Amino acid sequence: MQATLTIKLARVAIVIAIFALWEMLSRTGVVNPRLLPSASDTLATLGDLLQRSSVRTDLLVTATEVLAAFALAVPMGALIGFLIAENRYFADVAKPLLFFAFSIPKSIFLPMFILVFGVGFAQKVGFGFFSTIFIVIMSTTTAVESVKVEHLTVARSYGATRAQTAFRVYLPSMLPVLLEALRISMIFNLTGVILAEMYASRDGIGHQIATWGENFQMKQLLAGVVMVAAIAMTFNELIRWVETRCSHWRT
Amino acid sequence: MQPLANVTPLKPPPRAGAIEVRNVGQVFRTRSQDVVALEDVSLDIKPGRFVVLVGPSGCGKSTLLMMMAGLRAQTAGTITINGAPIPQPDPDRVGVVFQEASLFPWLTAEDNVEFPLALRGVAKPERRAKAQDALKLVGLEGFGKRHPHELSGGMKQRVSIARGLVQDPPVLLMDEPFAALDEQTRMTMGDELLRIWAATGKTVVFVTHSLTEAVYLADEVIVMSPRPGRIVDQLQVSLPRPRTYEMLSGDAFGALRDRIWRHIRKSA
């Protein structure tokens, strides 16, 4: 998606306007500044927080949990999704069930994860994994279905082996859908891990944000929100950038 | 004119292949009934001939082509190409050209053409050289770096033909290759194909719905009827070559097309 300069400028203008409105509402006292600290104060606090080693440790803990959950959920989900899509009978049986499972809000299972794993690394990674794997399975199934029969026939007519078909036809056909899946999975994964941290944890940025909220430390709370939002957006944009580079693969 | 003359084939095949189809049948078994797609089809295609299969949908012409390509097994009879059966695809003997959607959109035109060679582990420089020759043969010199979405329908089909020819197989099988093209492009591509055929001397088997296209291109038209698919007529087209646009309105052309149409109307 190519945006013209004016469209890009308009986007920047909107972001600036939101921050300006935020600043103004707080400074003029239209909104109680104790409830809504100004944008400039929040950003200053964010700078301070990033200097603190305890906050950096929290970020590192969260990042480790997120990556661990991701590293487990993506390959496992992709494998399950692939096996389901490749077997007609299996697909017919499993697909509606997956849709059922996917529709359930994962958060209601969080107390069970705490009971099983206790409070700690395993509970948060486990819940992050659980929040992510269904979307990975479903996306992979879609990705496999996006492989065109014509392309498989072409490969077969030129004598492609199974491995060649996998790497030269399946993988490139699936890549655009898989990248999108990766991006959306990360949103679910991050949500899962941070939710688990906020609900019951001793460390991690989610735990820290919850604590700031409980203690009415609004500046820190908002700074935390901005921080997590920025990290999530950066990852999302990174994958989206790769996606646009192979967008014409879909045609 | 022999643009492929500087291409060294992997193992030198004859320039054109003979195809023999003997009492071939194909039955599709479904849960409720058996569908006879082809029944007792026999054909003899001499090397270097341009043979067109026509017939209404469901007459099994594409099925027959896929069996000649080794992409599908018949349930009765034998098919041989240059004397040997073709139980699975053999790119040394047969090149297949599909409809335009068969190009890989993530590969450039030249990478698409090189695809069959890449599968066999041909080294990059040799691959590139052969792809360039094939692209030149189909009139696409200088378009190798483009992706399929940057090419017109006709150009995509030229790439497909180049891909089918890149290994210099004695037989070229074409499954409704121009079906998705508009009328003008289709006529131009027909002339192009005849030029390429004359330059390479391949045996071509071409499947189409278009009667005009069939008569215009063919040495011989095989007319098929559906349910069960069988051959109802074989016409020798003795119009001189090169074929020209003016022939389309001639009496000889009209007579051949009418004869095919009467068969098809009967079975439709």
Q: What is the pLDDT of residue B1?
A: 46
Residue B2 lies in a domain: no
State whether B102 and A250 contact (CB < 8 Å).
no
Domain count for chain B: 2
- Residue B259 tokens read as 């004869």
The per-residue pLDDT for range A73-119, each reduced to its tens digit, is: 999 998 898 888 888 888 888 888 888 888 899 889 999 999 999 88
Task: State whether B111 and B179 are in the same domain.
Answer: no
Cis geometry, peptide bond prior to residue B3 (ω within 30 degrees of 0): no
Cis geometry, peptide bond prior to residue B56 (ω within 30 degrees of 0): no
Model confidence band, residue A248 (pLDDT cutoffs 50, 70, 90): low
CB contact at 8 A, B113 and B124: no
pLDDT mean across residues, chain A: 89
Task: State whether A115 and A192 are in the same domain.
Answer: yes
Greater confidence (A251 vs B148) lies with: B148
Distance CA A178, CA B192 (A): 40
Q: Annotate B202-268 with three-state secondary structure.
A: CEEEEECCCHHHHHHHCCEEEEEECCCEEEEEEEECCCCCCCCHHHHHCHHHHHHHHHHHHHHHHHC
Q: Which residue is closest to B148 within chain A, CA to CA? A: A251
Residue B233 lies in a domain: yes
- Residue A3 domain boundaries: 1-34
Residues from chain B contacting residue A151 (CB–CB below 8 Å): 102, 104
For chains A and B, what is the number of CB pairs under 8 angstroms?
Answer: 58
**What percentage of chain A carries pLDDT values higher than 70?**
96
Task: State whether B179 and B67 are in the same domain.
Answer: yes
State whether B91 and A157 contact (CB < 8 Å).
yes
Task: State whether B29 and B79 are in the same domain.
Answer: yes
Task: State whether A27 and A49 are in the same domain.
Answer: no
Task: State whether B152 and B229 are in the same domain.
Answer: no
- Residue B148 domain boundaries: 103-168
CATH number of A83's domain: 1.10.3720.10
Task: State whether B164 and B188 are in the same domain.
Answer: no
Q: What is the pLDDT of residue B41?
A: 94
Residue B70 lies in a domain: yes
- Residue A174 tokens read as 């699936």
Distances in Å between the alpha carbon of B2 and those of B7, B18, B130, B242, B268?
10, 21, 14, 17, 42
Give every CB contact of residue B249 below 8 A, 6+ residues apart in sequence: none
Task: State whether B261 and B191 are in the same domain.
Answer: yes
Give every CB contact of residue A24 below 8 A, 6+ residues apart in sequence: A30
Q: What is the pLDDT of residue B7?
A: 53
The per-residue pLDDT for range A216-234, each reduced to its tens digit, is: 999 999 999 999 999 899 9
Q: Which of A158, A164, A248 sits opposite B91 (nearest CB)?
A: A158
Q: What ipTM was estimated for this complex?
A: 0.86
Task: State whether B135 and B162 are in the same domain.
Answer: yes
What are the two backbone dihedrals, phi and then psi, of residue B256, each rounded to the nearest 5 degrees? -65, -45
Q: Give yes or no for A157 touching B (CB within 8 A).
A: yes
Domain boundary among B168, B189, B209: B168
Task: State whether B225 and B187 are in the same domain.
Answer: yes
Q: Which residue is closest to B93 within chain A, CA to CA? A: A158
Task: State whether A69 and A1 are in the same domain.
Answer: no
The per-residue pLDDT for range A107-124, each reduced to its tens digit, is: 899 999 999 998 889 999
Task: State whether A158 and A189 are in the same domain.
Answer: yes
Task: State whether A109 and A185 are in the same domain.
Answer: yes
Domain boundary among B168, B184, B218: B168
Residue B25 lies in a domain: yes
Task: State whether B176 and B261 are in the same domain.
Answer: yes
Task: State whether B195 and B219 are in the same domain.
Answer: yes
State whether A150 and B148 contact (CB < 8 Å).
no
State whether A246 and B116 contact (CB < 8 Å).
no
Q: What does DSSP say about strands B50-54 and B203-207: parallel, antiparallel, or unpaired?
A: parallel
Q: Which of B91, B98, B148 sits opposite A153 (nearest CB)?
A: B98
Q: Give yes or no for A162 touching B (CB within 8 A).
A: no
State whether A168 and B89 contact (CB < 8 Å).
no
Q: What is the pLDDT of residue A249?
A: 60
Domain boundary among B119, B147, B168: B168
Task: State whether A10 and A55 are in the same domain.
Answer: no
Residues from chain A contacting residue B205 (CB–CB below 8 Å): none
Task: State whether A134 and A216 are in the same domain.
Answer: yes
Task: State whether A180 and A104 are in the same domain.
Answer: yes
Helices (H), A52-170: 53-86, 88-103, 110-117, 121-145, 149-157, 162-165
Task: Name the A residues in 165-194 with CB < 8 Å from any B CB.
Answer: 168-169, 172-173, 175
Chain A nearest-CA distance from B31, in A, is: 16
Exposure b/e, A114-137, CB count within 10 A at least 16 = b:
beebebebebbbbbbbbbbbbbbb
Q: Which of A154, A158, A248 sits opposite B105 (nearest CB)?
A: A248
**Residues of B contacting chain A (CB within 8 angstroms):** 69-71, 88-91, 94, 96, 98-99, 101-102, 104-106, 115-116, 118-120, 147-149
Q: Give yes or no for A249 touching B (CB within 8 A).
A: yes
Distance CA B184, CA B201 (A): 25
Count of CA atoms in the C-beta half-sphere (13 A) of A72? 16
**What percentage of chain A carries pLDDT values higher than 90?**
59
Task: State whether B112 and B178 are in the same domain.
Answer: no
Q: What does DSSP say about strands B230-236 and B220-225: parallel, antiparallel, or unpaired?
A: antiparallel
Residue B28 lies in a domain: yes
Q: What is the pLDDT of residue B268?
A: 64
Residue B134 lies in a domain: yes
Task: State whether B83 and B36 are in the same domain.
Answer: yes
Task: State whether A53 and A134 are in the same domain.
Answer: yes
Residues from chain A contacting residue B120 (CB–CB below 8 Å): 159
Task: State whether A17 and A117 are in the same domain.
Answer: no
Chain B nearest-CA distance from A154, in A, is: 7
Residues from chain B contacting residue A248 (CB–CB below 8 Å): 105, 147, 149
Give every CB contact of residue B155 below 8 A, 6+ residues apart in sequence: B140, B143
Q: What is the pLDDT of residue B11?
A: 46
Q: Which of A151, A153, A164 sits opposite B71 (nearest CB)?
A: A153
CATH number of B44's domain: 3.40.50.300
DSSP code of A107? G
Distance CA B126, CA B132 (A): 10
| Regions of chain B short of the pLDDT cut 50 | 1-2, 11-14
Task: State whether A9 and A82 are in the same domain.
Answer: no
The per-residue pLDDT for range B171-220, each reduced to its tens digit, is: 999 999 998 889 899 999 999 999 999 999 999 999 999 999 999 999 99
Give every CB contact of residue B146 below 8 A, 6+ residues apart in sequence: B108, B109
Task: State whether A1 and A61 are in the same domain.
Answer: no
State whether B105 and A249 contact (CB < 8 Å).
yes
State whether B120 and A159 contact (CB < 8 Å).
yes
Domain count for chain A: 2
Distance CA B119, CA A160 (A): 6
- Residue B10 tokens read as 């992997």
Chain A nearest-CA distance from B164, in A, is: 9
CB contact at 8 A, A198 and A214: no
